[in-house]
Amino acid sequence: MTWYAALGAVEQGLVYGIMVIGVYLTFRILDFPDLTVDGSLPLGAAVSAVAISSGVNPYLSLLLALGGGFCAGMVTAFLNTKFKILHLLASILTMIALYSINIRIMDGPNVALLGSDTVFDAVTRLGVPSHFAGLVVFGLFAALVVGGMVWFMGTEIGQAVLATGDNPQMITSQGVNIHVVIIFGVGLSNGLVALSGALIAQNQGAADVGMGLGTIVAGLASVIIGETVFGCQTMARAFIAALLGSIVYRLAIALALGLELGGFRFNPSDLNLITALLVIVALITPNLKRRLLAR
**What distance in Å separates the CA atoms of residue 116 and residue 99, rounded to the nearest whole number?**
25
Judged by beta carbon, residue 100 or residue 167, the one nearer other proteins is 167
- Of the candidates 222, 206, 213, the residue with the CA atom closest to the CA atom of residue 46: 206
- Of the candidates 244, 220, 253, 217, the residue with the CA atom closest to the CA atom of residue 142: 244
Judged by beta carbon, residue 6 or residue 163, the one nearer other proteins is 163
Query: Minimum distance from CB of 148 to other proteins (Å)?
Result: 12
> What are the backbone dihedrals phi and psi of residue 84, each rounded to the nearest 5 degrees, phi first?
60, 30
Judged by beta carbon, residue 170 or residue 288, the one nearer other proteins is 170
- Of the candidates 244, 140, 247, the residue with the CA atom closest to the CA atom of residue 195: 140
Query: Minimum distance from CB of 29 to other proteins (Å)?
Result: 9
Judged by beta carbon, residue 129 or residue 154, the one nearer other proteins is 154
Sequence letter at residue 199: L
Query: Minimum distance from CB of 79 to other proteins (Å)?
Result: 19
Judged by beta carbon, residue 137 or residue 162, the one nearer other proteins is 162
Query: Minimum distance from CB of 78 to other proteins (Å)?
Result: 17
State the helix-helix crossing angle for 215-230 and 271-294, rounded to 10 degrees. Answer: 20
Query: Cα 30 vs. chain centroid, distance in angstroms?
Result: 15
Do the beta carbons of residue 137 and residue 120 sit within 8 Å? yes
Judged by beta carbon, residue 154 or residue 286, the one nearer other proteins is 154
Do the beta carbons of residue 229 and residue 251 sit within 8 Å? no
Query: Minimum distance from CB of 82 to other proteins (Å)?
Result: 13
Judged by beta carbon, residue 176 or residue 201, the one nearer other proteins is 176
Q: In this structure, what DSSP letter does residue 212 have?
A: G
Conformation bin of residue 175: beta by default, left when phi > 0, alpha when psi is -120 to 50: left
Query: Minimum distance from CB of 165 to other proteins (Å)?
Result: 8
Query: Minimum distance from CB of 26 to other proteins (Å)?
Result: 16
- Of the candidates 3, 2, 10, the residue with the CA atom closest to the CA atom of residue 251: 10
Judged by beta carbon, residue 9 or residue 160, the one nearer other proteins is 160
Where on the chain is the footprint of other proteins (CB under 8 A)? 152, 154-160, 162-163, 166-167, 169-178
Query: Minimum distance from CB of 151 to other proteins (Å)?
Result: 9
Q: What is the DSSP string of 93-142?
A: HHHHHHHHHHHHHHTSSEEE-TT---HHHHHHHTT--HHHHHHHHHHHHH
Do the beta carbons of residue 22 and residue 172 sit within 8 Å? no
